[in-house]
Amino acid sequence: MMDHQPQDQQRVIETILRPLEKKALNWLAAHMPAWVMPDHLTALGILASLLIAVSLVLTNFSPHFLWLASLGVVLNWFGDSLDGTLARYRKIERSNYGFYIDHAVDSVDEVLIFLALGLSPYVRMELAGLALVAYLLMSIQVFLFAQVKGVFQISFLRLGPTEIRCIMILANTVVFFVGNPVIRLSVGVFTLYDFIAMGLSLLLFGAFIVLTIARARELAAYDIRQQALKAEREARKAARRALRAERKAARMQHKARKARDHNLPMPEASHPQ
């Protein structure tokens, strides 16, 4: 998810698994068959998200489909993370096209997966929808900051899309082996997976609020500095214009004096009486 960005944007990915992931992606890109193109990997990512969604819905019939969903998560990581890496490795980037397609596809993937979680027996639909809203808000946060500051940051609190995929695989594994324990509270009945969805939602909503406030202050200060610099530049330009006008006026005065001196009549010579 979110692995493409226009060339004039700085890319920031600082996550727990990033060092290992980067080495793995670079190795895979170097050893990828020549006939495999970035668009093929993007298509694989889309198909993998469909596999995840269908598998989660099918868990209504058997929990064994959790393994198929986890396989889909791995395939989605492979296709979605490797397409941009392969394009950069082969120097065939189409930055604007890649950015647009990657994030359009990511948005569809997110909707499919979270809604499928809500249709599964493990997560309440309203909690899955809440997590989806939180995830989309963070996506919007990324796009907005990239637009106004040219910084494309997809990692927060050392977590990114790859870490969220790992959490999903871990949750699927735990739920398969120990079940989906039900916890009764005064506000309702919740499962283990419900709490995971709520935790993710709170984390993302909290990050969105904190980042919005912090970045709004940063951008306000930045705009004030830019306005001060602009005013300073305008003042320097005005001073230069005034200096040029002063020099021009001095030259005109000098020419006028020379002209007057040149046109003065010669004094008449006096004759002796």
Q: Is the pLDDT of residue 51 over 60?
A: yes
The tens digit of pLDDT for each residue in 245-267 reads 888 888 888 878 877 777 656 55
* 45-49, 191-195, 202-206, 257-261: the lowest-pLDDT one: 257-261
pLDDT of residue 160: 85
Specify the length of the chain in residues: 273
pLDDT band at 146 (very low <50, low <70, confident <90, very high): confident
Task: State mean pLDDT over 57-75.
Answer: 96
Q: Is the separation of the CB atoms in 121 and 180 below 8 Å?
A: yes
For the chain, percent of residues with pLDDT exceeding 90: 50
pLDDT of residue 265: 61
Distance of CA 1 to the CA centre of its chain: 10
pLDDT of residue 6: 54
- CA 241, CA 5: separation in Å to the nearest integer? 42
Task: State mean pLDDT over 196-222.
Answer: 92
Task: State mean pLDDT over 88-103.
Answer: 86
Q: Is the pLDDT of residue 170 over 70?
A: yes
pLDDT of residue 154: 79
Average pLDDT over all residues of the chain? 87
Q: What's the Cα-to-Cα distance from 198 to each of 5, 89, 130, 152, 203, rounded to whole Å?
A: 30, 38, 8, 26, 8
pLDDT of residue 266: 54
Q: What's the Cα-to-Cα distance from 262 to each of 91, 248, 251, 256, 268, rounded to whole Å?
A: 73, 21, 16, 10, 16
pLDDT of residue 136: 93
Residue 184's DSSP bridge partners are 189
Reading the block at residue 204, the tokens are: 């993302």
pLDDT of residue 260: 76
More confident residue, 263 or 180: 180
Number of alpha carbons in the 13 Å side-chain half-sphere of residue 229: 6
Q: Which residues of 14-30 are buried (b: 16+ CB within 10 A; e: fewer)?
A: ebeeeeebeebbeebbe
* 25-34, 181-190, 208-217, 256-265: the lowest-pLDDT one: 256-265
Q: In order of start, what are the domains of the chain with their CATH numbers? A: 10-226 (1.20.120.1760)
pLDDT of residue 73: 96
More confident residue, 255 or 68: 68
pLDDT of residue 122: 93
pLDDT of residue 267: 56
pLDDT band at 14 (very low <50, low <70, confident <90, very high): confident
Task: State mean pLDDT over 209-218.
Answer: 92
Task: State mean pLDDT over 106-111.
Answer: 92
